Structure 1
Amino acid sequence: MRADAQKNRSQILTVAREVVAEHGAEASMRDIARRAGVGLATLLRHFPTREALFEALLCTHLDTLTQKADALETSASADEALLTWFRELVVFTQSYRGVVAMMAAAHTNPDSALYGSCAAVHSAGARLLLRAQDEGTARADMTGDDLFALITALGWVVDQPSFASRADHLVHLITSAILTSRPRSDAKRAKSRSAT
């Protein structure tokens, strides 16, 4: 890639992060191009679809979540690994308003630019769930699809201003339904909350 094209791409991504932080996943491609100081045609040459732009914005985060799952598989108990990873994925979905719907749509659409990253995250979560099920610490009647659906639903709910302040509590409720036994520190936290 030529130096000027690389500079344009970097500028577009920098501005896109800012615009998406302000306006969420529905941010205007035209507004991103204008604020980046490039024409819409230039933006579309680098990122022909909204999904392609989001793939470029999100791939580092999604790759990190996939690697985190790999590390947790060997460094933490099965229930703690699943809980830690689940919480980190929910935090990620909160960082880009509207990204959950985009990820949910891409999950089953191989033509989406986000498909590969979403499939990798889905697979990582399914492995952590299976490990917890094998150890008897997670519900046996769940699948990786169920886990992804719950994360998607939770991400959508906490994306709503009226529920954002309850995000931690909602994560606790969902993970309590997934895990049949809880890590000690999380159980203590839940007990101390109910006492207040």
Structure 2
Amino acid sequence: MSTDQARPLRADAARNRARLLDVAAQVFADRGVSVTTEEIAKAAGVGVGTLFRHFPTKEALLEAVLVRRLETLTSEIGRLTEEQEPAAAFFACFTLMVDQSAGKKEFAQALTAAGVDVHQKLHEPGRLVRARLADLLVGAQRAGAVRADLAVPELLALLVGTAVMVERLGQDQAGRERILSVIFTGLRPAH
């Protein structure tokens, strides 16, 4: 068990860890997963020793960034559910998940190449996201905003496919909006 898991972090150490995760997520998103840990530490304004105290390997850092992304997504889905009506929350969540998926495949491939069992490491945070998504889907279906024959596995497939296509568009926001519009039209019940 690591020191981070054995006892709570001091306030400054917790801030450093959070800053490292924030910076690493941004640097990985901007420059890809091939960026060095030294570059991430420098961008975060800490020494590489500080980075390695929190994340002993680059793979541990990648894993922590992915887990944090899923935890943040779970929180965001919860916020959407609380603040919006079921239909609006569902479509906002779909958009959020598509937007948040950029680079996730590259992270997972880097971890797999390093011998990390990504499915095992991300099982629990992924399960929480799927559970929240299932609740959103049921709520939107009960509200009559989403077709009743759609189940979570098909929804996940649509999310993945949409995310891949939107990522390929790059900065083409008009194309992104058209793709989401077509998908959303197909998700709504036929009248």
C-alpha displacement at 1:60, in angstroms? 5.4
C-alpha displacement at 1:19, in angstroms? 1.0
Tell me the residue number matched to 1:122.
130
- Does the 8 A contact of 2:144 with 2:189 survive in 1? yes
Tell me the residue number matched to 2:74.
63
- Does the 8 A contact of 2:134 with 2:152 survive in 1? yes
Opposite residue 95 of structure 2, the aligned amino acid is R
Q: Deviations over 1:128-177 (max 9, x none)?
A: 22233334442233211211221122112111245743111101111111
2:120 aligned with 1:111: yes
Opposite residue 176 of structure 1, the aligned amino acid is T
C-alpha displacement at 1:102, in angstroms? 5.3
C-alpha displacement at 1:86, in angstroms? 1.6
Distance between the aligned counterparts of 2:18 and 2:88, measured in 1? 37
Tell me the residue number matched to 2:3.
none
Q: Which residue of 147, 166, 171 corresponds with 2:155?
A: 147
1:59/1:159 Cα in 2 relative to 1: closer, same or farther (>3 Å)?
same
Count, aligned residues: 172
Distance between the aligned counterparts of 1:7 and 1:68, measured in 2? 24
**Equivalences for 1:67-106 in 2 at 5 Å?**
67-71=78-82, 75-76=84-85, 78-93=86-101, 97-99=102-104
Distance between the aligned counterparts of 1:41 and 1:88, measured in 2? 31
Q: Structure 2 stretches of 5 or more lacking a match?
A: 1-8, 112-116
Tell me the residue number matched to 1:51.
63
2:17 aligned with 1:9: yes
C-alpha displacement at 1:98, in angstroms? 1.0
Distance between the aligned counterparts of 1:10 and 1:132, measured in 2? 34
Percent of aligned positions with the same letter in both sequences?
Answer: 24
- Does the 8 A contact of 2:70 with 2:126 survive in 1? no
- Does the 8 A contact of 2:95 with 2:180 survive in 1? yes
Q: CA RMSD in A?
A: 3.6
Distance between the aligned counterparts of 1:86 and 1:173, measured in 2? 13
TM-score by length of 1: 0.67
Tell me the residue number matched to 2:53.
42
Tell me the residue number matched to 1:187.
none
